[in-house]
Amino acid sequence: MQPREPDAVIDCGNSGTTLRLLAGILAAQPFLSVLTGDASLNRRPVARVVEPLRRMGASLWARSADRFPPLAIRGARLRPLRYELPIPSAQVASCVLLAGLFAEGETSVAIPGPARDHTERLLRALGVSVEESALAVGGRQVTVTGPVRFSGATLRVPGDFSAAAFFLAAAAGTPGARVTASNVNLNPLRTGLLDVLEAMGARVEREGVRLECGEEVGTVTVTGPGRLNAFDVPPEWIPRLVDEVPAWVIAATSASGVSRIRGAQELRVKESDRLSALTRHLAALGVEVREHPDGLDVTGGPLEGGRVDAECDHRVAMTFATLAVRARGPIRIDGAATIATSYPDFAETLERLGGRVSAMDPGAHRT
Q: Which residues are catalytic?
A: 243
Residue 345, burial from CB neighbour count under 10 angstroms (0-12, 13-18, 19+): exposed
Cα distance from N-terminal residue to C-terminal residue, the chain = 48
| Range 159-170 burial, b when 16+ CB lie within 10 A, else e | bebbbbbbbbbb
Q: What distance in Å separates the CA atoms of residue 38 and residue 108, rounded to the nearest whole number?
A: 32
Beta bridge partners of 333: 308, 365
List the Cα angle 339/36/308 in 5-degree steps.
Answer: 30
Q: What distance in Å separates the CA atoms of residue 11 and residue 42, rounded to the nearest whole number?
A: 11
Output DSSP code: residue 360: E
